[in-house]
Structure 1
Amino acid sequence: MIELTTLRYFTSAFEARTFSQAARVNDVSQPTVSAAIQKLEDRLGVSLFQRSKAGLTPTPFATRLYHDTVDSVAHLSSIDMRLRREPQQTVRIHCAPDMLLKGVATGLNALRIGSPELMFGFTDDPENSDIAFLADSCTPADHDFILLAEESFRVAFGRFHPLARVPEVRLADLRDQPVIHRPYCPNADRMDLDALRFAAAEAMNDAQLLDLVAAGLGIAFVPLSHGDSRDDIVLRPLADTDTGHRRIGISHRKSVFAAQLAKRLAKVCAL
Protein backbone atom coordinates (compact mmCIF):
# COMPACT_ATOMS: atom_id res chain seq x y z
CA MET A 1 0.00 0.00 0.00
CA ILE A 2 1.29 3.46 -0.91
CA GLU A 3 1.29 5.86 2.03
CA LEU A 4 -0.81 9.02 1.91
CA THR A 5 2.22 11.18 2.78
CA THR A 6 4.13 9.83 -0.21
CA LEU A 7 1.22 10.57 -2.54
CA ARG A 8 0.91 14.06 -1.08
CA TYR A 9 4.59 14.71 -1.82
CA PHE A 10 4.08 13.36 -5.34
CA THR A 11 1.04 15.52 -6.11
CA SER A 12 2.83 18.59 -4.73
CA ALA A 13 5.88 17.90 -6.91
CA PHE A 14 3.63 17.37 -9.93
CA GLU A 15 1.94 20.73 -9.36
CA ALA A 16 5.04 22.71 -8.35
CA ARG A 17 7.44 21.11 -10.88
CA THR A 18 10.34 21.22 -8.40
CA PHE A 19 11.25 19.14 -5.34
CA SER A 20 12.25 22.26 -3.42
CA GLN A 21 8.86 23.92 -3.95
CA ALA A 22 7.05 20.69 -3.07
CA ALA A 23 9.08 20.53 0.14
CA ARG A 24 8.09 24.08 1.09
CA VAL A 25 4.42 23.31 0.41
CA ASN A 26 4.58 20.37 2.81
CA ASP A 27 6.90 22.06 5.32
CA VAL A 28 9.59 19.37 5.06
CA SER A 29 13.12 19.22 3.66
CA GLN A 30 13.85 18.73 -0.04
CA PRO A 31 15.69 15.40 0.54
CA THR A 32 12.58 14.08 2.30
CA VAL A 33 10.44 14.73 -0.78
CA SER A 34 12.98 13.50 -3.34
CA ALA A 35 13.67 10.33 -1.33
CA ALA A 36 9.97 9.56 -0.98
CA ILE A 37 9.36 9.98 -4.70
CA GLN A 38 12.41 7.86 -5.52
CA LYS A 39 11.00 5.08 -3.33
CA LEU A 40 7.64 5.47 -5.07
CA GLU A 41 9.33 5.13 -8.46
CA ASP A 42 11.17 2.01 -7.26
CA ARG A 43 7.92 0.53 -5.96
CA LEU A 44 6.04 1.21 -9.20
CA GLY A 45 8.98 0.29 -11.42
CA VAL A 46 8.65 3.43 -13.54
CA SER A 47 10.11 6.91 -13.73
CA LEU A 48 7.67 9.63 -12.67
CA PHE A 49 9.70 12.72 -13.55
CA GLN A 50 12.46 13.74 -15.89
CA ARG A 51 14.87 15.72 -13.73
CA SER A 52 16.79 18.74 -15.04
CA LYS A 53 18.18 22.05 -13.81
CA ALA A 54 14.97 23.69 -15.07
CA GLY A 55 12.84 21.49 -12.81
CA LEU A 56 10.65 18.40 -13.14
CA THR A 57 8.84 17.20 -16.24
CA PRO A 58 6.16 14.59 -15.47
CA THR A 59 6.16 11.40 -17.52
CA PRO A 60 2.89 10.14 -19.06
CA PHE A 61 2.64 7.60 -16.23
CA ALA A 62 2.99 10.39 -13.66
CA THR A 63 0.21 12.34 -15.33
CA ARG A 64 -2.12 9.33 -15.10
CA LEU A 65 -1.14 8.71 -11.49
CA TYR A 66 -1.76 12.35 -10.59
CA HIS A 67 -5.25 12.40 -12.06
CA ASP A 68 -6.05 9.06 -10.39
CA THR A 69 -4.95 10.18 -6.93
CA VAL A 70 -5.20 13.96 -6.54
CA ASP A 71 -8.85 14.00 -5.43
CA SER A 72 -8.32 11.16 -2.96
CA VAL A 73 -5.24 12.83 -1.50
CA ALA A 74 -7.14 16.07 -0.97
CA HIS A 75 -10.09 14.21 0.56
CA LEU A 76 -8.01 12.13 2.97
CA SER A 77 -5.74 15.04 3.93
CA SER A 78 -8.73 16.99 5.23
CA ILE A 79 -10.55 14.11 6.92
CA ASP A 80 -9.49 15.18 10.41
CA MET A 81 -11.16 18.57 9.95
CA ARG A 82 -14.37 16.97 8.71
CA LEU A 83 -14.46 14.56 11.63
CA ARG A 84 -13.92 17.38 14.11
CA ARG A 85 -16.37 19.55 12.16
CA GLU A 86 -14.32 22.66 12.74
CA PRO A 87 -15.93 25.80 11.33
CA GLN A 88 -14.45 27.06 8.10
CA GLN A 89 -12.70 30.40 8.09
CA THR A 90 -12.97 32.49 4.94
CA VAL A 91 -9.87 34.25 3.65
CA ARG A 92 -10.54 36.96 1.08
CA ILE A 93 -7.95 36.85 -1.71
CA HIS A 94 -7.18 39.44 -4.37
CA CYS A 95 -5.05 38.49 -7.37
CA ALA A 96 -4.15 41.58 -9.39
CA PRO A 97 -4.80 41.49 -13.16
CA ASP A 98 -1.05 41.52 -13.90
CA MET A 99 -0.42 38.43 -11.75
CA LEU A 100 -0.72 34.85 -13.01
CA LEU A 101 -2.53 32.29 -10.88
CA LYS A 102 0.01 29.47 -11.26
CA GLY A 103 2.33 30.57 -8.45
CA VAL A 104 -0.56 31.84 -6.37
CA ALA A 105 -2.44 28.53 -6.53
CA THR A 106 0.59 26.59 -5.30
CA GLY A 107 0.80 28.76 -2.21
CA LEU A 108 -2.92 28.55 -1.47
CA ASN A 109 -2.79 24.78 -1.79
CA ALA A 110 0.03 24.70 0.76
CA LEU A 111 -2.07 26.74 3.18
CA ARG A 112 -5.01 24.36 2.78
CA ILE A 113 -2.81 21.35 3.49
CA GLY A 114 -1.63 22.91 6.73
CA SER A 115 -4.94 24.54 7.65
CA PRO A 116 -7.83 22.64 6.02
CA GLU A 117 -10.39 24.84 7.81
CA LEU A 118 -9.50 27.73 5.49
CA MET A 119 -11.81 28.57 2.60
CA PHE A 120 -10.68 31.07 -0.03
CA GLY A 121 -12.98 33.67 -1.52
CA PHE A 122 -11.69 35.86 -4.34
CA THR A 123 -12.42 39.57 -4.67
CA ASP A 124 -11.70 42.06 -7.45
CA ASP A 125 -11.15 44.82 -4.92
CA PRO A 126 -7.79 44.73 -3.07
CA GLU A 127 -9.24 47.02 -0.40
CA ASN A 128 -11.65 44.24 0.60
CA SER A 129 -9.02 41.50 0.73
CA ASP A 130 -7.17 39.88 3.61
CA ILE A 131 -4.35 38.80 1.31
CA ALA A 132 -3.43 40.28 -2.08
CA PHE A 133 -0.95 39.21 -4.75
CA LEU A 134 0.19 42.36 -6.55
CA ALA A 135 2.90 44.90 -7.32
CA ASP A 136 4.07 47.08 -4.46
CA SER A 137 2.74 50.23 -6.14
CA CYS A 138 -0.79 48.80 -5.89
CA THR A 139 -0.68 47.95 -2.17
CA PRO A 140 -3.84 49.12 -0.34
CA ALA A 141 -3.31 51.77 2.34
CA ASP A 142 -4.34 49.43 5.17
CA HIS A 143 -2.04 46.59 4.04
CA ASP A 144 1.60 45.75 4.69
CA PHE A 145 3.68 44.44 1.76
CA ILE A 146 6.11 41.50 1.60
CA LEU A 147 8.45 41.68 -1.40
CA LEU A 148 8.98 38.37 -3.22
CA ALA A 149 10.56 39.30 -6.53
CA GLU A 150 11.70 42.12 -8.79
CA GLU A 151 11.73 41.72 -12.55
CA SER A 152 12.07 43.63 -15.78
CA PHE A 153 9.68 43.79 -18.72
CA ARG A 154 10.08 42.25 -22.15
CA VAL A 155 8.28 42.43 -25.47
CA ALA A 156 6.04 39.39 -25.99
CA PHE A 157 5.53 37.92 -29.46
CA GLY A 158 3.57 34.95 -30.69
CA ARG A 159 5.82 31.95 -31.26
CA PHE A 160 5.73 32.29 -35.04
CA HIS A 161 6.03 36.09 -35.21
CA PRO A 162 8.95 37.15 -37.48
CA LEU A 163 10.54 39.20 -34.67
CA ALA A 164 10.50 36.17 -32.36
CA ARG A 165 13.47 34.83 -34.34
CA VAL A 166 15.85 37.63 -33.35
CA PRO A 167 17.61 37.82 -29.94
CA GLU A 168 16.58 41.43 -29.26
CA VAL A 169 14.49 44.16 -30.85
CA ARG A 170 14.60 47.94 -31.11
CA LEU A 171 11.79 50.43 -30.74
CA ALA A 172 11.87 51.14 -34.48
CA ASP A 173 11.18 47.44 -35.15
CA LEU A 174 7.88 47.76 -33.29
CA ARG A 175 6.64 50.89 -35.01
CA ASP A 176 4.16 49.09 -37.25
CA GLN A 177 3.20 46.34 -34.82
CA PRO A 178 -0.31 46.16 -33.31
CA VAL A 179 -0.15 46.39 -29.52
CA ILE A 180 -2.33 44.71 -26.92
CA HIS A 181 -2.61 47.09 -23.98
CA ARG A 182 -2.70 46.13 -20.30
CA PRO A 183 -4.04 49.35 -18.74
CA TYR A 184 -4.51 48.02 -15.23
CA CYS A 185 -2.55 48.62 -12.04
CA PRO A 186 0.31 49.10 -12.40
CA ASN A 187 0.18 50.85 -15.78
CA ALA A 188 3.21 48.92 -16.94
CA ASP A 189 2.58 48.60 -20.65
CA ARG A 190 4.48 51.87 -21.03
CA MET A 191 1.98 53.88 -23.03
CA ASP A 192 4.77 56.35 -23.82
CA LEU A 193 6.42 53.62 -25.89
CA ASP A 194 3.26 53.09 -27.91
CA ALA A 195 2.85 56.55 -29.42
CA LEU A 196 3.82 55.44 -32.91
CA ARG A 197 1.76 52.26 -32.99
CA PHE A 198 -1.89 51.31 -33.02
CA ALA A 199 -3.82 49.26 -30.48
CA ALA A 200 -5.16 45.85 -31.47
CA ALA A 201 -6.93 45.12 -28.19
CA GLU A 202 -7.14 46.01 -24.52
CA ALA A 203 -6.89 43.02 -22.18
CA MET A 204 -8.61 42.69 -18.81
CA ASN A 205 -5.81 40.62 -17.25
CA ASP A 206 -2.44 39.15 -18.15
CA ALA A 207 -3.72 35.59 -18.59
CA GLN A 208 -6.06 36.89 -21.29
CA LEU A 209 -3.32 39.06 -22.75
CA LEU A 210 -0.89 36.14 -23.16
CA ASP A 211 -3.52 34.10 -24.99
CA LEU A 212 -4.12 37.02 -27.37
CA VAL A 213 -0.39 37.40 -28.02
CA ALA A 214 -0.05 33.66 -28.62
CA ALA A 215 -2.91 33.82 -31.13
CA GLY A 216 -1.02 36.47 -33.10
CA LEU A 217 -3.39 39.37 -32.44
CA GLY A 218 -0.55 41.68 -31.42
CA ILE A 219 2.49 42.21 -29.22
CA ALA A 220 2.64 43.34 -25.59
CA PHE A 221 5.01 44.47 -22.86
CA VAL A 222 4.92 41.84 -20.11
CA PRO A 223 6.92 40.85 -17.01
CA LEU A 224 9.84 38.53 -17.70
CA SER A 225 8.43 35.67 -15.59
CA HIS A 226 5.33 35.44 -17.77
CA GLY A 227 7.32 33.48 -20.32
CA ASP A 228 8.35 30.73 -17.89
CA SER A 229 5.33 28.49 -18.38
CA ARG A 230 4.44 29.29 -21.98
CA ASP A 231 5.88 27.68 -25.11
CA ASP A 232 3.53 29.53 -27.46
CA ILE A 233 5.02 32.99 -26.84
CA VAL A 234 8.55 34.39 -27.02
CA LEU A 235 9.90 37.26 -24.90
CA ARG A 236 12.61 39.56 -26.25
CA PRO A 237 14.44 42.52 -24.64
CA LEU A 238 14.12 46.02 -26.08
CA ALA A 239 17.72 46.99 -26.82
CA ASP A 240 17.51 50.78 -27.05
CA THR A 241 14.79 51.65 -24.51
CA ASP A 242 14.21 51.02 -20.82
CA THR A 243 10.96 49.07 -20.53
CA GLY A 244 10.90 49.38 -16.75
CA HIS A 245 10.53 46.83 -13.97
CA ARG A 246 8.14 45.82 -11.23
CA ARG A 247 8.34 44.66 -7.61
CA ILE A 248 5.80 41.99 -6.77
CA GLY A 249 4.79 40.18 -3.62
CA ILE A 250 2.05 39.65 -1.06
CA SER A 251 0.20 42.35 0.80
CA HIS A 252 -1.90 41.63 3.85
CA ARG A 253 -4.34 43.36 6.12
CA LYS A 254 -2.71 44.67 9.31
CA SER A 255 -4.05 41.92 11.55
CA VAL A 256 -2.27 39.06 13.28
CA PHE A 257 -4.29 36.47 11.34
CA ALA A 258 -3.57 37.98 7.90
CA ALA A 259 0.09 38.64 8.72
CA GLN A 260 0.64 35.02 9.73
CA LEU A 261 -1.01 33.73 6.55
CA ALA A 262 1.07 36.09 4.40
CA LYS A 263 4.32 34.95 6.02
CA ARG A 264 3.39 31.32 5.41
CA LEU A 265 2.50 32.09 1.80
CA ALA A 266 5.77 33.96 1.25
CA LYS A 267 7.68 30.76 2.01
CA VAL A 268 5.98 28.70 -0.67
CA CYS A 269 4.75 31.01 -3.42
CA ALA A 270 6.66 31.14 -6.70
CA LEU A 271 5.47 34.39 -8.28
Structure 2
Amino acid sequence: MTLTELKYIVTLAQEQHFGRAAERCFVSQPTLSIAVKKLEEELGVSLFERSKSRVYPTPLGEKIIKQSQVVLEQAGAIKDIVDAGKDQLTSPMHIGAIFTIGPYLLPQIIPELNQLASDMPLYVEESYTATLRRRIRQGELDAIVVALPFTEADVVTQPLYEEDFVVLMDSKHPLAEQESIKADQLVEHQVLLLGEGHCFRDQVIEACPKLQPSLADNQGKIRSAAEGSSLETLKYMVASGLGITVLPRSAATPSLLTNDLLCIRPFAGEAPKRTVALAWRASFPRLQAIDALREAISNSGVGHNL
Protein backbone atom coordinates (compact mmCIF):
# COMPACT_ATOMS: atom_id res chain seq x y z
CA MET A 1 0.00 0.00 0.00
CA THR A 2 1.09 3.58 -0.60
CA LEU A 3 0.46 6.95 1.04
CA THR A 4 -1.40 7.94 -2.11
CA GLU A 5 -3.80 5.02 -1.73
CA LEU A 6 -4.34 5.89 1.93
CA LYS A 7 -5.12 9.48 0.92
CA TYR A 8 -7.65 8.19 -1.61
CA ILE A 9 -9.59 6.09 0.91
CA VAL A 10 -9.56 8.87 3.54
CA THR A 11 -10.89 11.36 1.01
CA LEU A 12 -13.48 8.90 -0.31
CA ALA A 13 -14.72 8.29 3.24
CA GLN A 14 -15.12 12.04 3.74
CA GLU A 15 -16.88 12.73 0.44
CA GLN A 16 -18.84 9.45 0.14
CA HIS A 17 -18.76 9.97 -3.61
CA PHE A 18 -16.13 8.77 -6.11
CA GLY A 19 -16.43 11.82 -8.36
CA ARG A 20 -16.01 14.40 -5.61
CA ALA A 21 -13.19 12.42 -4.00
CA ALA A 22 -11.36 12.17 -7.32
CA GLU A 23 -11.75 15.90 -7.86
CA ARG A 24 -10.26 16.66 -4.45
CA CYS A 25 -7.34 14.33 -5.14
CA PHE A 26 -6.79 15.84 -8.60
CA VAL A 27 -7.16 12.51 -10.40
CA SER A 28 -9.75 10.99 -12.68
CA GLN A 29 -12.59 8.98 -11.17
CA PRO A 30 -11.42 5.69 -12.80
CA THR A 31 -7.92 6.23 -11.39
CA LEU A 32 -9.24 6.63 -7.86
CA SER A 33 -11.70 3.76 -8.21
CA ILE A 34 -9.02 1.37 -9.49
CA ALA A 35 -6.62 2.38 -6.70
CA VAL A 36 -9.26 1.79 -4.00
CA LYS A 37 -10.16 -1.60 -5.50
CA LYS A 38 -6.47 -2.54 -5.69
CA LEU A 39 -5.99 -1.70 -2.01
CA GLU A 40 -9.06 -3.73 -1.05
CA GLU A 41 -7.67 -6.71 -2.97
CA GLU A 42 -4.26 -6.31 -1.34
CA LEU A 43 -5.80 -6.22 2.14
CA GLY A 44 -8.35 -8.91 1.34
CA VAL A 45 -11.26 -6.92 2.78
CA SER A 46 -13.98 -4.58 1.56
CA LEU A 47 -13.33 -1.05 2.78
CA PHE A 48 -16.50 0.48 1.35
CA GLU A 49 -20.10 -0.42 0.68
CA ARG A 50 -21.26 0.97 -2.62
CA SER A 51 -24.82 1.99 -3.49
CA LYS A 52 -26.27 4.01 -6.36
CA SER A 53 -26.43 7.19 -4.29
CA ARG A 54 -23.31 7.06 -2.12
CA VAL A 55 -20.26 5.18 -0.91
CA TYR A 56 -19.66 4.60 2.78
CA PRO A 57 -17.07 2.68 4.84
CA THR A 58 -17.70 -0.80 6.18
CA PRO A 59 -17.23 -1.23 9.95
CA LEU A 60 -13.73 -2.65 9.35
CA GLY A 61 -13.12 0.02 6.73
CA GLU A 62 -13.82 2.76 9.28
CA LYS A 63 -11.04 1.42 11.52
CA ILE A 64 -8.59 1.20 8.63
CA ILE A 65 -9.47 4.69 7.42
CA LYS A 66 -9.02 6.11 10.91
CA GLN A 67 -5.56 4.56 11.11
CA SER A 68 -4.78 5.76 7.60
CA GLN A 69 -5.50 9.31 8.73
CA VAL A 70 -2.97 8.89 11.54
CA VAL A 71 -0.38 7.57 9.08
CA LEU A 72 -0.93 10.53 6.75
CA GLU A 73 -0.56 12.98 9.63
CA GLN A 74 2.67 11.30 10.70
CA ALA A 75 3.98 11.42 7.14
CA GLY A 76 3.20 15.13 7.14
CA ALA A 77 5.19 15.47 10.38
CA ILE A 78 8.23 14.00 8.61
CA LYS A 79 7.90 16.67 5.93
CA ASP A 80 7.69 19.28 8.68
CA ILE A 81 10.96 18.01 10.16
CA VAL A 82 12.61 18.32 6.76
CA ASP A 83 11.24 21.85 6.36
CA ALA A 84 12.63 22.78 9.78
CA GLY A 85 16.12 22.10 8.48
CA LYS A 86 15.68 24.68 5.76
CA ASP A 87 15.42 28.46 5.97
CA GLN A 88 12.05 28.92 7.65
CA LEU A 89 11.26 32.08 5.67
CA THR A 90 11.99 30.74 2.18
CA SER A 91 9.82 27.63 1.96
CA PRO A 92 6.23 28.14 0.73
CA MET A 93 3.60 28.99 3.34
CA HIS A 94 0.06 27.69 2.85
CA ILE A 95 -2.56 29.78 4.64
CA GLY A 96 -6.31 29.29 4.88
CA ALA A 97 -9.00 31.70 6.07
CA ILE A 98 -12.75 31.46 6.47
CA PHE A 99 -14.90 33.18 3.85
CA THR A 100 -15.88 36.10 6.10
CA ILE A 101 -12.27 36.94 7.00
CA GLY A 102 -10.14 36.14 3.94
CA PRO A 103 -11.31 38.84 1.49
CA TYR A 104 -10.81 41.61 4.05
CA LEU A 105 -7.69 40.47 5.93
CA LEU A 106 -5.54 38.84 3.23
CA PRO A 107 -5.16 41.97 1.05
CA GLN A 108 -3.92 43.80 4.16
CA ILE A 109 -1.38 41.22 5.33
CA ILE A 110 0.19 40.22 2.00
CA PRO A 111 2.07 43.54 1.60
CA GLU A 112 3.17 43.26 5.24
CA LEU A 113 4.45 39.72 4.68
CA ASN A 114 6.33 40.88 1.60
CA GLN A 115 8.24 43.21 3.90
CA LEU A 116 8.79 40.68 6.69
CA ALA A 117 9.51 37.58 4.56
CA SER A 118 10.07 38.65 0.96
CA ASP A 119 11.45 35.25 -0.10
CA MET A 120 8.57 33.18 1.32
CA PRO A 121 6.03 32.19 -1.38
CA LEU A 122 2.48 32.48 -0.07
CA TYR A 123 -0.45 30.29 -1.07
CA VAL A 124 -3.87 31.29 0.24
CA GLU A 125 -7.34 29.80 0.12
CA GLU A 126 -10.75 30.53 1.60
CA SER A 127 -13.22 27.95 2.84
CA TYR A 128 -15.56 26.91 5.65
CA THR A 129 -14.18 26.31 9.14
CA ALA A 130 -14.87 22.57 8.89
CA THR A 131 -12.89 22.30 5.66
CA LEU A 132 -9.96 24.32 7.02
CA ARG A 133 -9.99 22.18 10.18
CA ARG A 134 -9.60 19.02 8.10
CA ARG A 135 -6.97 20.45 5.79
CA ILE A 136 -4.70 21.69 8.56
CA ARG A 137 -4.91 18.31 10.30
CA GLN A 138 -3.90 16.63 7.05
CA GLY A 139 -0.95 18.97 6.61
CA GLU A 140 -2.38 20.56 3.46
CA LEU A 141 -2.38 23.97 5.17
CA ASP A 142 0.29 25.37 7.47
CA ALA A 143 -1.86 27.91 9.30
CA ILE A 144 -5.48 29.02 9.26
CA VAL A 145 -7.30 32.16 10.34
CA VAL A 146 -10.67 31.40 11.95
CA ALA A 147 -13.19 32.88 14.35
CA LEU A 148 -13.38 31.54 17.89
CA PRO A 149 -14.49 29.24 19.36
CA PHE A 150 -12.13 26.83 17.62
CA THR A 151 -10.51 23.80 19.22
CA GLU A 152 -8.74 20.89 17.57
CA ALA A 153 -6.46 18.21 19.00
CA ASP A 154 -2.75 18.84 18.37
CA VAL A 155 -3.49 22.30 16.93
CA VAL A 156 -2.34 25.51 18.65
CA THR A 157 -4.88 28.36 18.59
CA GLN A 158 -3.91 31.94 19.45
CA PRO A 159 -6.39 34.85 19.55
CA LEU A 160 -5.25 37.77 17.38
CA TYR A 161 -7.85 40.52 17.42
CA GLU A 162 -11.45 41.41 18.18
CA GLU A 163 -13.80 42.93 15.65
CA ASP A 164 -17.12 44.69 16.29
CA PHE A 165 -20.28 43.90 14.34
CA VAL A 166 -22.14 46.76 12.67
CA VAL A 167 -25.48 47.16 10.91
CA LEU A 168 -25.45 47.91 7.19
CA MET A 169 -28.52 49.43 5.54
CA ASP A 170 -29.79 51.41 2.61
CA SER A 171 -29.06 55.11 3.23
CA LYS A 172 -32.82 55.77 2.90
CA HIS A 173 -33.79 53.09 5.42
CA PRO A 174 -35.72 54.35 8.50
CA LEU A 175 -32.98 53.07 10.84
CA ALA A 176 -30.45 55.28 9.05
CA GLU A 177 -31.90 58.24 10.97
CA GLN A 178 -30.55 56.76 14.23
CA GLU A 179 -26.97 57.13 15.45
CA SER A 180 -26.89 53.57 16.79
CA ILE A 181 -29.08 50.46 16.59
CA LYS A 182 -30.36 48.27 19.41
CA ALA A 183 -30.10 44.55 18.73
CA ASP A 184 -33.81 44.08 19.54
CA GLN A 185 -34.74 46.48 16.74
CA LEU A 186 -33.41 44.16 14.05
CA VAL A 187 -36.28 41.71 14.42
CA GLU A 188 -38.68 44.41 13.21
CA HIS A 189 -36.96 44.52 9.81
CA GLN A 190 -36.00 42.22 6.98
CA VAL A 191 -32.55 40.92 7.97
CA LEU A 192 -30.30 39.31 5.38
CA LEU A 193 -27.87 36.67 6.62
CA LEU A 194 -25.49 34.18 5.08
CA GLY A 195 -26.77 30.69 4.37
CA GLU A 196 -26.46 27.67 6.63
CA GLY A 197 -22.90 26.47 7.11
CA HIS A 198 -21.34 29.90 7.63
CA CYS A 199 -20.18 30.35 11.21
CA PHE A 200 -20.72 34.11 10.96
CA ARG A 201 -24.46 33.50 10.55
CA ASP A 202 -24.44 31.58 13.84
CA GLN A 203 -22.45 34.33 15.55
CA VAL A 204 -24.94 36.99 14.49
CA ILE A 205 -27.90 34.96 15.72
CA GLU A 206 -26.08 34.28 19.00
CA ALA A 207 -25.50 38.02 19.43
CA CYS A 208 -29.09 38.85 18.44
CA PRO A 209 -31.14 35.87 19.73
CA LYS A 210 -34.46 37.32 18.58
CA LEU A 211 -33.33 36.76 14.99
CA GLN A 212 -33.92 33.05 15.52
CA PRO A 213 -36.58 32.22 12.88
CA SER A 214 -38.68 30.37 15.45
CA LEU A 215 -38.79 33.49 17.64
CA ALA A 216 -39.39 36.12 14.98
CA ASP A 217 -42.81 37.23 13.73
CA ASN A 218 -44.50 35.01 11.15
CA GLN A 219 -41.80 32.38 11.53
CA GLY A 220 -39.08 34.96 11.03
CA LYS A 221 -38.32 37.85 8.74
CA ILE A 222 -34.82 36.53 8.12
CA ARG A 223 -34.08 36.00 4.48
CA SER A 224 -30.93 33.97 3.89
CA ALA A 225 -28.74 34.59 0.90
CA ALA A 226 -28.35 31.63 -1.41
CA GLU A 227 -26.14 28.80 -0.15
CA GLY A 228 -22.50 29.72 -0.54
CA SER A 229 -23.13 33.47 -0.80
CA SER A 230 -20.59 35.98 0.44
CA LEU A 231 -20.74 39.11 2.56
CA GLU A 232 -20.21 41.07 -0.64
CA THR A 233 -23.42 39.54 -2.01
CA LEU A 234 -25.28 40.67 1.11
CA LYS A 235 -23.99 44.23 0.61
CA TYR A 236 -25.37 44.32 -2.93
CA MET A 237 -28.67 42.88 -1.73
CA VAL A 238 -28.90 45.63 0.89
CA ALA A 239 -28.05 48.25 -1.76
CA SER A 240 -30.91 46.84 -3.84
CA GLY A 241 -33.36 47.54 -1.02
CA LEU A 242 -33.95 43.91 -0.03
CA GLY A 243 -33.27 44.47 3.66
CA ILE A 244 -30.54 45.20 6.20
CA THR A 245 -27.68 43.03 7.39
CA VAL A 246 -25.08 42.64 10.13
CA LEU A 247 -21.42 42.52 9.14
CA PRO A 248 -18.02 42.50 10.82
CA ARG A 249 -16.64 46.02 10.64
CA SER A 250 -13.82 45.04 8.25
CA ALA A 251 -16.41 43.87 5.70
CA ALA A 252 -18.81 46.80 6.04
CA THR A 253 -16.98 49.39 3.96
CA PRO A 254 -19.13 50.12 0.89
CA SER A 255 -17.56 49.55 -2.51
CA LEU A 256 -17.30 52.17 -5.23
CA LEU A 257 -20.54 50.82 -6.69
CA THR A 258 -22.50 51.10 -3.42
CA ASN A 259 -20.80 53.98 -1.63
CA ASP A 260 -23.72 56.40 -2.10
CA LEU A 261 -26.36 53.78 -1.44
CA LEU A 262 -25.32 52.32 1.92
CA CYS A 263 -24.68 53.55 5.43
CA ILE A 264 -23.20 51.90 8.51
CA ARG A 265 -24.52 52.19 12.06
CA PRO A 266 -22.92 50.77 15.23
CA PHE A 267 -24.86 48.80 17.80
CA ALA A 268 -26.07 50.68 20.86
CA GLY A 269 -24.25 49.85 24.07
CA GLU A 270 -21.65 47.09 24.00
CA ALA A 271 -21.43 45.94 20.39
CA PRO A 272 -21.47 42.23 19.59
CA LYS A 273 -18.09 41.12 18.32
CA ARG A 274 -16.04 38.16 17.21
CA THR A 275 -12.53 37.08 18.14
CA VAL A 276 -10.28 36.10 15.25
CA ALA A 277 -7.51 33.58 15.88
CA LEU A 278 -4.54 32.00 14.15
CA ALA A 279 -4.20 28.21 14.34
CA TRP A 280 -1.35 25.89 13.36
CA ARG A 281 -0.33 22.29 14.05
CA ALA A 282 1.62 21.87 17.28
CA SER A 283 4.19 19.86 15.30
CA PHE A 284 4.70 22.60 12.68
CA PRO A 285 8.40 23.50 13.05
CA ARG A 286 8.56 26.81 11.14
CA LEU A 287 7.77 29.07 14.06
CA GLN A 288 9.58 31.99 12.40
CA ALA A 289 7.02 31.81 9.58
CA ILE A 290 4.19 31.74 12.14
CA ASP A 291 5.72 34.76 13.89
CA ALA A 292 5.97 36.64 10.58
CA LEU A 293 2.34 35.88 9.78
CA ARG A 294 1.21 36.92 13.24
CA GLU A 295 3.16 40.20 13.00
CA ALA A 296 1.72 40.92 9.55
CA ILE A 297 -1.81 40.47 10.90
CA SER A 298 -1.02 42.68 13.90
CA ASN A 299 0.26 45.39 11.56
CA SER A 300 -2.71 45.13 9.21
CA GLY A 301 -4.93 47.45 11.25
CA VAL A 302 -7.89 45.07 11.06
CA GLY A 303 -9.73 44.83 14.39
CA HIS A 304 -8.44 45.54 17.89
CA ASN A 305 -5.25 43.58 18.63
CA LEU A 306 -5.26 41.35 21.71
Into which bin does the TM-score normalised by the smaller protein fall? 0.5 to 0.7
2:231 aligned partner = 206
Aligned pair count reads 182
Instruction: Judge conservation of contact 2:150–2:157 (CA < 8 Å) in 1.
Output: no
Q: Find 1:235's aligned residue among 264, 270, 276.
A: 264
Identity of aligned residues (%): 20
Any residues of structure 2 matched to 1:108-127 within 5 Å, and which?
Answer: 108-113=110-115, 114-122=117-125, 124=127, 125-127=131-133
Please give the per-residue CA displacement for 1:142-196, whole angstroms capped at 9, x wherever unaligned. Answer: 4322322113322221333231221123456434422112341252121622132
Instruction: Judge conservation of contact 2:254–2:262 (CA < 8 Å) in 1.
Output: no
| Cα distance change, pair 221–208 in 1 and its aligned pair in 2 (3 A) | same
Any residues of structure 2 matched to 1:4-43 within 5 Å, and which?
Answer: none
TM-score (norm 1): 0.56
* 1:150 to 2:146 alignment: no
2:290 aligned partner = 262
1:101 aligned partner = 103
Cα shift at 1:117: 4.5
d(CA) in 2 for partners of 1:156, 1:166: 12
Instruction: Judge conservation of contact 1:170–1:239 (CA < 8 Å) in 2.
Output: yes
d(CA) in 2 for partners of 1:93, 1:139: 18
| Cα distance change, pair 211–177 in 1 and its aligned pair in 2 (3 A) | same
The residue identity in structure 1 corresponding to 2:123 is F
| Cα distance change, pair 216–261 in 1 and its aligned pair in 2 (3 A) | farther
1:27 aligned partner = none
Q: Find 2:199's aligned residue among 155, 174, 185.
A: 185
Cα shift at 1:260: 2.5
Please give the per-residue CA displacement for 1:61-82, whole angstroms capped at 9, x wherever unaligned. Answer: xxxxxxxxxxxxxxxxxxxxxx
d(CA) in 1 for partners of 2:179, 2:160: 28
Please give the per-residue CA displacement for 1:196-221, whole angstroms capped at 9, x wherever unaligned. Answer: 24122336333333333333322122
Instruction: Judge conservation of contact 2:169–2:238 (CA < 8 Å) in 1.
Output: yes
The residue identity in structure 1 corresponding to 2:98 is A
SS at match of 2:264: strand
| Cα distance change, pair 185–170 in 1 and its aligned pair in 2 (3 A) | closer
TM-score (norm 2): 0.50
The residue identity in structure 2 corresponding to 1:256 is P
Please give the per-residue CA displacement for 1:104-133, whole angstroms capped at 9, x wherever unaligned. Answer: 223233334523341414253212121212
Any residues of structure 2 matched to 1:158-173 within 5 Å, and which?
Answer: 158-171=170-183, 173=185
Question: RMSD of aligned C-alpha atoms?
Answer: 3.0
d(CA) in 2 for partners of 1:267, 1:117: 15
* Larger Cα-atom Rg: 2
d(CA) in 1 for partners of 2:152, 2:107: 22
Instruction: Judge conservation of contact 1:251–1:262 (CA < 8 Å) in 2.
Output: no
SS at match of 2:199: coil
Instruction: Judge conservation of contact 2:166–2:252 (CA < 8 Å) in 1.
Output: no
d(CA) in 2 for partners of 1:121, 1:224: 22
SS at match of 1:103: helix
Instruction: Judge conservation of contact 2:99–2:126 (CA < 8 Å) in 1.
Output: no
Q: Find 2:245's aligned residue among 220, 225, 228.
A: 220
d(CA) in 2 for partners of 1:235, 1:100: 21
SS at match of 1:210: helix
The residue identity in structure 2 corresponding to 1:185 is C
| Cα distance change, pair 102–163 in 1 and its aligned pair in 2 (3 A) | same
Please give the per-residue CA displacement for 1:240-265, whole angstroms capped at 9, x wherever unaligned. Answer: 8x7632111322232122x3323212
